[in-house]
Amino acid sequence: MGLPSAPFGRTGHNSTRVIFGAAALGAMSQGRADDTIELVRAAGVNHFDTAASYGDSELRLAPWLQDHRSEVFLATKTGERDGSAARAELERSLERLGVDQVDLIQLHNLVEDGDWETAHGPGGAVEALAAARDEGLVRFIGVTGHGTRIPGMHLRSLEAFDFDSVLFPWNHTMLENPAYRTDAFELARVCRERNVGMQTIKSIAVGRWPADFDGPKFSWYEALEDPDAIGRAVRHVLGEDGLFLNTTSDARKLPIILEAAAAANATTKPSPAEMDADVASFAITPLFDGAELERI
């Protein structure tokens, strides 16, 4: 079986439902990055997602993109809220990636009220990115975020601007939060109605690292290790119509995620009992509870 694919919103691109989270490349050598890119390419992944703030990720993608740009839907992000700063960061990303255009530019983690007002206001990032789209530097514009408030903020953003995509957390423990579940499913409903692409993150998260953990960390949160549990977490996302799964920054998990997503049952959603059993077996806890500062 190959990876499942679906139209990515209204973009016209038929994207693999597993999107390569190129944050994984941020601290790699070029040689290891090349091997990682080859792994996801060989699996058939045709949608890459990076960001200006992901270390050297954009630079690590550039050599491969020189000969393979047409093979992937390419997305990056800006964390700037002021228009001129967002434009400058976009231009820097184009230079670092070695391309003339990205398919998708995203406002990175737009969750705080003040940031939202600046980005959507006169001279803000939304206005500047729309102008960049009109000039052909980008094709589509999206918005991303983390934490329990982000589905509600995305709904607010979609009322203010016709974004082409959103990105937000989706996993069993977060959806056990009734308020989060209500907002997340309402966001999904609106996105389906408006044909907005829906990317999800944190599918295989276990929780925040224990305070006394002193081993290597390849993502800011602890991720599942058990292949069967990872498979169920992947199917929990792919079993929902229209959702895309962005892979973790821990590249060691890529082969397991890709294998699970290519399995015959990849789009068969696990039962709540199965997911509850994994929560108990692996001590999975919500990454966000609404009380913390959600600027990850």
pLDDT in tens, 128-148: 999 999 999 999 999 999 999
CA distance 286 to 290: 10
| Cα four-point dihedral sign 236, 239, 240, 242 | positive
Please, how many CA atoms are within 13 Å of residue 136, restricted to the half-sphere of its CB? 2
CA distance 143 to 139: 14
CA distance 186 to 99: 36
Contact 152, 183 (CB under 8 A): yes
Q: What percent of the chain has pLDDT over 90?
A: 89
Which pLDDT score is estimated for 296? 40
**What pLDDT, in 10s, does the model give residues 228-260?**
999 999 999 999 999 999 999 999 999 999 999
Partners of 16 in the β-ladder: 5
**Which portions of the chain are predicted below pLDDT 50?**
292-296
Partners of 102 in the β-ladder: 138
Neighbouring C-beta atoms of residue 179, cutoff 10 Å? 12
**What CATH number labels 5-282?**
3.20.20.100
SS3 state of residue 104: strand
Which pLDDT score is estimated for 290? 57
Torsion of CA 85, 292, 215, 173, to 10 degrees: -110
Q: Which helix (H) or strand (E) holds 121?
A: none
CA distance 292 to 274: 29
CA distance 17 to 19: 6
* Structural domain spans, the chain: 5-282
Which pLDDT score is estimated for 45? 98
